[in-house]
Each structure stands twice: as C-alpha cells, then as structure tokens.
C-alpha cells in the first residue's frame, strides 16, 4: 500500500476548500466558511494497487506559522492555489514555493501543482495566464500549472492528473 499526503496551501478565499469539494464531492457552494484544518482520506484502486490519499485543507491566513511549517514538512505532494482575480494570492503562491524549497531539501522529487482558480470570473481576471506560465516555466515548475474553476468544475481533474504523473502513479486510460 502507498499513502500519499496532499497538502493544499494558498491565501484565504482563493477557493482551496471549494476545489477539494468539487474534486471529492462534485459540488460547489457560494458561501464562504473559513477553514482551520480539514483532512479528507480516500482510497483508490489504480491498476490493481491500492492508493491511499489524504488531502489536507489548510487555513489561508496563517495564525500559526508553526502549523504551516508542519504541513510543509509532512507533505508528499503540494497543491498551491491562487485566484486569478487576486494579485496578493498570486504573490502568496510564489512565497509558498520559496518556503517549500527552503524547508524541503527533497523538493525536486515532490509532486507539486500550481492552481489558478476562479477562471469563471474571466471579467475580473488580474493574473494573466501567460504571466503565470512565464513564472512556472522559469522556476522549475514547467508543466505543473493549471487554471481551473471550482464553481464550474473546469479542469479540476487536471490538478490530480498532474500530481499523479509526477508521483509515477499510472492513471487508467480510456
Ligand atoms: P479558501 O479560503 O481558499 O478555502 O476558499 P473557499 O473555498 O472557502 O472559497 C472562498 C469563496 O470563493 C467562497 O465564497 C467560494 O464560493 C468562492 N469560490 C471558490 N472557488 C470559486 C470559483 O472557482 N469561482 C467563483 N466564482 N467563486 C469561487
Ligand atoms: Mg478553506
């Protein structure tokens, strides 16, 4: 058996909980409930092997830096989320990537995906896709980026597909 702990990080309000909810339950709620910390455990039978996935949903604003440090040090994979409508959340994701590289000597071996959420709000877009691509391509994150919408479900599965590829977990082809 393999156990994988996916830690979801990003500023408050970017849609971390919504992305997880969309992925796990296929649902979306417009109300905002602040997260302290939530752990979701799932088992998948992928090509005959049992894969256990723990998804850790974290708080955006970090009242406890030690909590963030702990979540970074224990992760097997990272999902770093910003909102395409919010420049501060984009800066936060860049900061997180710096912190991960500082705290994890093995960072080059850790699956990571950068997620630009809320693409359904195209009219409120602040962060252009080509700007984000320019950053990821030049910061060791090539191919590890996707724009999604938790509201519509657009590209949500790509987040996990990108992580599975890096973890060398074969995904079932149809
Ligand atoms: P978190 O603090 O990062 O966990 O963010 P939440 O998942 O709680 O979402 C914050 C707010 O943004 C909520 O009101 C959500 O309904 C809303 N939201 C989340 N994802 C999307 C999205 O893809 N599109 C739109 N329009 N709103 C979203
Ligand atoms: Mg949340």
Our answer on whether the CB atom of 30 is closer than 6 Å to any ligand 1 atom is yes
20 within 8 A of 40, measured Cβ to Cβ: yes
Give the tens place of pLDDT for each residue, 24-48: 999 999 999 888 889 999 998 877 8
Q: Select from 32, 61, 120, 127 the residue to mutate for testing ligand 1; criterion: most ligand atoms less than 8 Å from CB.
A: 32
Q: Give the closest residue (by CA) to ligand 1 atom 19.
A: 15
Question: In terms of residues, how long is the chain?
Answer: 174
Q: Is the pTM of this model over 0.90?
A: yes
3-class DSSP assignment, residue 126: coil
Query: By alpha-carbon position, which residue is closest to atom 9 of ligand 1?
Result: 15
Give the whole-number percent of the chain exceeding pLDDT 90.
Answer: 79
pLDDT band at 2 (very low <50, low <70, confident <90, very high): confident
Beta carbons of 81 and 8 less than 8 angstroms apart = yes
User: What CA dihedral angle connects 44, 10, 89 and 27, to 10 degrees?
Assistant: 40
Distances (CA, A) of 63 to 18, 59, 96, 111, 138: 21, 9, 15, 26, 31
12 — alpha (psi -120 to 50), left (phi > 0) or beta? beta
Each residue's pLDDT tens digit, 62-97: 667 788 888 999 999 999 999 999 999 999 999 999
What ipTM was estimated for this complex?
A: 0.99
Per-residue model confidence (pLDDT) at position 66: 82
CA distance 125 to 67: 31
Mean confidence (pLDDT) of the chain: 92
Please give the average per-residue pLDDT across 122-142, as a whole number. 97
* Beta strands, E only, the chain: 2-9, 37-46, 49-58, 77-83, 112-117, 145-147
Q: Identify the pLDDT of residue 68.
A: 86
- Which region among 26-40, 51-65, 103-117, 144-158 has the lowest average model confidence (pLDDT)? 51-65
């Amino acid at each position: 058996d393999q156990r994988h702990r996916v830690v979801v990080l990003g500023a408050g309000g970017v849609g971390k909980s919504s992305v997880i909810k969309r992925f796990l339950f296929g649902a979306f709620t417009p109300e905002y409930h602040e997260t302290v910390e939530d752990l979701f455990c799932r088992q998948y039978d992928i090509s005959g092997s049992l894969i256990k996935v723990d998804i850790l949903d974290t708080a955006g604003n970090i009242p406890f830096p030690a909590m963030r440090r702990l979540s970074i040090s224990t992760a097997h994979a990272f999902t770093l989320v910003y909102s395409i409508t919010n420049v501060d959340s984009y800066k936060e994701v860049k900061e997180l990537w710096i912190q991960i590289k500082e705290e994890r000597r093995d960072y080059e071996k850790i699956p990571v995906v950068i997620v630009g959420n809320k693409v359904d709000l195209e009219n409120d877009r602040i962060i252009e896709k080509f700007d984000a691509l320019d950053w990821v391509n030049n910061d060791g994150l090539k191919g590890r980026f996707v724009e999604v919408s938790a509201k519509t479900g657009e590209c949500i599965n790509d987040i996990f597909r990108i992580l599975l590829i890096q973890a060398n977990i074969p995904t079932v082809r149809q």
